[in-house]
Amino acid sequence: MSSGFDTISENLRLQQIYATLGSFGAETLMENTPLVGPRRRMQRWVHRLPEPVPEYSTATRTRVLLEGLGPTYVKMGQIVSSQVNVLPDDWRVELDRLQNEVPTFPYAMVREIIIEELGAPPEELYAEFSETPLAAASLAQVHRARLHDGREVAVKVQRPNLDQHVKADLGVTQTAGRAMEARSQWAREIGLRGMLDEFSTNLIEELDYYGEAYNMARLASNMSELPGVSVPQLYRELSSRRVLTQEFIVGVKISDLEAIDAAGLDRGVLGTNALRAAIKMLLIDGFFHADPHPGNLYVDLTDGHVTFLDCGMVGELSVAQRINLLALLWTVVNGDMTAMASQLR
């Protein structure tokens, strides 16, 4: 049961969501009326823009909407963006931007969080620390830095006041899920409430970087004998609940096929190495990286090494679940539809 404070936070957050959705709806309706032309000219005049106000696609406006709704909804958009095979090209491009083009927050806040978490400012803890973020994601942003021994690192700093914001969002989404299941057969059939509960549990766990540090160490150990794959090295002494310092990884997203081909790398080898790692995680170890979208798989263009980034979201399968999954795969290989249906059930 939610506390009184949680209920107040959820209600306030719900009002913010209504306001953002209302603004988005008004913008969408305006785009389909004769007033859109005069409105754009007025916007250009008021804001003194040198160029006409561009006409944005629905996909672009949806991406901006998710950014406006905040970290929780950006994370949902990132999950959707990983389904590249079922998305139209324009939607894939726009949602893909949510993986590493989310608005940043000021360096002053970054510095304050590092002092709170690690007990000293960045200029003392690191030999060099870039004030300009290297990338920004839904829950954090990353800064490039150098240790006093010369090693380059990436420092992930959680967004300020994220706990309260995310918990309020998740309370709203779970309430909405329960309401939709009570009123919609479709929502009950797909298990919407269960999906949202699972998403909420994983997202809350992602807010604690001690958990991610554990995941990194365990995945690194499990992958240590596999060729061509790894997770970044963790620097525990410079990590805490909201700050994570890890090895700096040079490369491109695994979806950047143009750069991979230009480097002369064999796609088949890359795919085999990544697939071998996935099979080992799922079927042998039962402990797997649960957020492997292209932004979290980086390829080193010098040797084709694949690194699994962002280990905040993981999953576990029991021995019985792994055996059932193997049995399901065996029915697929043999083309036995009856056995496949039975195994799925």
Partner residues linked to 244 by β-bridges: 156
Among candidates 56, 60, 54, 55, which has minimal Cα distance to 90? 60
Tokens of 34: 């004769």
Q: Please say whether the dihedral angle defined by the alpha carbons of residues 24, 28, 30 and 31, taken in this order, is positive or negative.
A: positive
Burial class of residue 142 in the structure, from the number of CB atoms within 10 Å of its CB (0-12 exposed, 13-18 middle, 19+ buried) = buried
Longest dimension (CA), the chain: 67
Give the number of residues written for the chain. 345
Partner residues linked to 306 by β-bridges: 229, 299
Do residues 269 and 228 lie in contact, with contact meaning Cβ atoms separated by under 8 Å? yes
Q: What residues act catalytically?
A: 291
Q: Is residue 105 left, alpha or beta, with left meaning phi > 0 and alpha meaning psi from -120 to 50?
A: beta
Give CA–CA dist 20/5, Å, rounded: 23
Q: Is 324 helix (H, G, I), strand (E, B) or coil?
A: helix
> Which residues, at least 6 apart from 264, have a Cβ–Cβ distance to it below 8 Å?
none
**C-alpha dihedral (336, 337, 341, 343), degrees to nearest 10:** 10
**C-alpha dihedral (176, 178, 182, 186), degrees to nearest 10:** 80
Do residues 140 and 313 lie in contact, with contact meaning Cβ atoms separated by under 8 Å? no
Give CA–CA dist 194/69, Å, rounded: 22
